[in-house]
Structure 1
Amino acid sequence: MIRRVFLLIFITQLIFGCAKHDVKNKQFYRAIANQDTAYLSIIRLENKFYGQYEIRYNGKAFIDSGDVTGIIKKDTLRGTFHFKPYGGGEWRRKPIIFLEENGKLLLGKGFVHSFLKIAYFDETVPFDFSKPDFVFDEITE
């Protein structure tokens, strides 16, 4: 019972703490590759970011949609994408990385390992931004 009360207090503080951040800092991005379109909206707070990420495959028929959170180091945004896959099933979490270059965000690739169903990037293998699946342009809401 006491744990539930503390959990409720923690969640309430988290919600109201996030709500007082200025939503004017929210940035909206869109990327189109073949028939796939991805939307990203993020809020940057110091060296962290959080937001929403959605990938619409094959002209809107199938959608991966969820939350992104992570850290910012110089021109790199690195975090996780927690999403429900378009085919249904369980929620998944996978690592993501973006390189900010010339006002665009390039979705990078890295070598992914998994441990106890938790996916993460291999630190010994360099990230590749040379042929990104998506190049995000900032858009207005």
Structure 2
Amino acid sequence: MRNRILPCLLLCCLGFISCNRNQKNAADQAVAEKPVSVQCYVSIYEKDTVSIQINTLKSGKLTGNMDMKLFDMPVKTGKIAGEYKGDTLFVDYSFIQGTNEKVVFKNPMAFLRKGNELVLGNGTIETYLGTSYFKKGVPIDFENVKYKFSAVDCAK
């Protein structure tokens, strides 16, 4: 009995290791992929400034950077990743707040594309098993919003 359990356990461990390698390789390929196009947007609302750089990849996925400088709050600096569904851009925003690099926050965001503008929507967010997402069946509001982004030239 013991002789059969040990090889099975070894095979299971090898399987987990190889699955983990495939996930890392896929993530590395997405990071290494060169963008087909790059667009930059800025939104200024009262004393807040939010800037976004969106990289469109050949696969249609989007990556980029977003900085949120909100009045009387630490700067939020992070990365976005997502894709368009129709005229709405759904992304996950992974960011650090201020100089605390030990804690990484992750929030879902939705932007409605209107010509050369993006509008950041307000929606009901739920969290399940540590993952946040927009609540299904509840519409995202793109009318009563603070942040409307205008296209700008990207800084080199």
The answer to whether residue 112 in structure 2 is matched with residue 107 in structure 1 is no
1:96 corresponds to 2:99: no
Matched residues in 2 for 1:94 and 1:26: separation? 22
Match of 1:52 among 61, 65, 71: 65
Distance in 2 between the 1:113 and 1:80 partners?
Answer: 14
Aligned residue number for residue 84 of structure 1:
96
After superposition, the CA RMSD in angstroms is 2.6
| 1:106–1:36 CA distance, 2 compared to 1 (3 A) | same
Give the letter for the 1:56 counterpart: K
- TM-score normalised to the size of structure 1? 0.82
Which runs of 5 or more residues in structure 1 are unaligned?
none
Partner of 1:137: 150
- Offset of 1:62 from its aligned partner? 2.4
Say which is worse superposed, 44-53 or 11-20, in terms of deviation.
11-20
Query: TM-score under structure 2 normalisation?
Result: 0.75
Residue 54 of structure 1 contacts residue 63 of structure 1 at CA under 8 Å; is this kept in 2?
A: yes
> Per residue, is there more helix in 1 or in 2?
2
Contiguous gaps of at least 5 residues in structure 2: 1-13
- 2:133 is the counterpart of 1:120: yes
User: How far apart in 2 are the matches of 1:125 and 1:17?
Assistant: 31
Percent sequence identity over aligned pairs: 24
* Matches of 2:70 and 2:106, distance apart in 1: 18
CA distance in 2: counterparts of 1:120 and 1:14, whole angstroms:
21
Q: Which residue of 1 aligns with 2:8?
A: none
Of 61, 72, 85, 1:73 maps to: 85
